[in-house]
Structure 1
């Protein structure tokens, strides 16, 4: 059996072997997981120091941060010769949407209703754009030009369509609950519309990747603070990637043996075990213009149902 340290080395190797190496996405993970809870602004050089052991050198960090700034994820300011970066307004909104799923899931009880969006009155190009944006939000295609979601409120769908200037030409309805809430035909439709089999495969790969680390930790192996930081960053990075494709469907509509439940439990267990070491590493290596980063906000300790 591998030690916990060997497991982290294996995770680093796996990340480095991917092509293309998505350094910008890893930096977004770093901001969401570690920097936002501590004020949100850090010196660019300290990001390079943190990510170099994962295979992201200083040049690549600078290139990725420049690109993220152009894409309105980040915003920068100079103090003397140093540059400091934080999430921009749009970047923070995107962060809140994505990371809320990661740390808090969706425990809301389902009332059996559905939000339905009809796009048949839109021109072909507009319909494709609206479909893309709604699917990113978690909607599934029930038929040509018809999208649906059991949890999203009508106002959320309308908000997307208004941003696209398409609200006048789309139809958005909300259906009432029926009995039973999830008949067989509906569950089969859900499986097809959201391609749950492919999503389950992604969760299975996550489980295969991180179970050895949890096994080592649960058998008493420990990690140094740097390895704890690396493991936590890669854990959230990989889990976030799957979560972004998860439509957050109610339990009633999911298969009985759903790997997403196991993946969430594993992610929570590892995070709770290693977060303190990672925080100590961040204390020593992240800098603001005023000095070390402030302590995490109280909301940080509410992640995954509460951190000890």
Structure 2
């Protein structure tokens, strides 16, 4: 794979919305480096995958209105930081993405009429029927839910038929698509190929974006409850290795391109280094 081809191949036939990609940029790059980014830097990194300046500005305004970002000005420049209310969401996503594979303490059966879409995603809720729901037990109950039953432990026998409540076919398709899109690049890098810093950063952001889109829908069922040949394990292994392989060059680009109020962002911080250690 020659220089210049990687991003074109990774984005071929791929639809990425501005708001979701901005969330990826903040979650992967900005949060571990102080949580603040200049709008000009955000526009520049989004342009690399074909997202226009107008779309970036509109999406950023909507993220501010939704309470996920906060804006501030310094002279003629606009900067956006992670809003305090969004820290829990970003921390949860980072825990799943970069930490060793975690297991829930068990499963919660809950009663509630309905949940907002954001709550469904955050808690990996699935409707069992009527007003009954099930979700992994991470030590926190969704707001507005009444506990009906707690199944402790990771033994599928404690909750028979666990897998049928989630769309594992659709989830597997997301994992398969991610492996098919990034597998050739991973193989090329392991064989000694190299990417320029600009391409490495863009490729890493796209990798995080697609893997995050699948992982945040994954209820993380016990292995014994999963279909045979489950592709989530292959997707996780690919993500961890490719992220590590892309990072040295990507960090060069971070320190050259992205700015906050004090100047360019650091290539690495203790927080970003801790993520890498967790992936090894």
TM-score, with length taken from structure 2: 0.89
Q: 195-204 or 133-142: which moved more?
A: 133-142
1:147 aligns with 2:133: yes
1:230 aligns with 2:225: no
CA positional deviation for 1:4? 6.7
Rate the CA distance shift 1:38–1:176 in 2: closer, same or farther, 3 A. Answer: closer
Rate the CA distance shift 1:131–1:288 in 2: closer, same or farther, 3 A. Answer: closer
Residue 160 of structure 1: aligned partner: 143
CA positional deviation for 1:212? 1.0
Residue 35 of structure 2: aligned partner: 40
CA positional deviation for 1:197? 1.9
Tell me if structure 2 keeps the 8 A contact 1:116–1:147.
yes
Q: Match for 1:182 among 143, 156, 166?
A: 156
Q: 57-66 or 26-35: which moved more?
A: 57-66
Q: Match for 1:118 among 101, 111, 121?
A: 111
Richer in helix (by share): 1
- Mapped to 2, the partners of 1:236 and 1:140 lie a distance apart of 24
1:57 aligns with 2:26: no
CA positional deviation for 1:203? 0.8
Query: What root-mean-square deviation, in Å, do the aligned CA atoms of Structure 1 and Structure 2 show?
Result: 2.5
Q: Match for 1:100 among 86, 92, 95?
A: 95
- Mapped to 2, the partners of 1:150 and 1:287 lie a distance apart of 38
Residue 273 of structure 1: aligned partner: 245
CA positional deviation for 1:185? 8.2
1:299 aligns with 2:277: no
Could you list the structure 1 runs, at least 4 aligned residues long, displaced by more than 6 angstroms after superposition. none
Rate the CA distance shift 1:278–1:193 in 2: closer, same or farther, 3 A. Answer: same
Tell me if structure 1 keeps the 8 A contact 2:99–2:279.
no
Report how many aligned residue pairs link the two structures.
Answer: 280
Q: 57-66 or 131-140: which moved more?
A: 131-140
Rate the CA distance shift 1:64–1:114 in 2: closer, same or farther, 3 A. Answer: closer
1:27 aligns with 2:22: yes
- Mapped to 1, the partners of 2:107 and 2:43 lie a distance apart of 45
Rate the CA distance shift 1:195–1:184 in 2: closer, same or farther, 3 A. Answer: farther
TM-score, with length taken from structure 1: 0.82
CA positional deviation for 1:147? 1.8
Asked which structure has the greater CA Rg, the reply is 1
CA positional deviation for 1:305? 4.8
- Mapped to 2, the partners of 1:30 and 1:239 lie a distance apart of 14
Residue 122 of structure 1: aligned partner: none
CA positional deviation for 1:303? 2.4
Could you list the runs of 5+ residues in structure 2 that have no partner in the other structure?
A: none
Residues 268-292 of structure 1: CA distance to partner in whole angstroms, max 9, x if unpaired?
1111001111111010111121212
Q: 133-142 or 43-52: which moved more?
A: 133-142
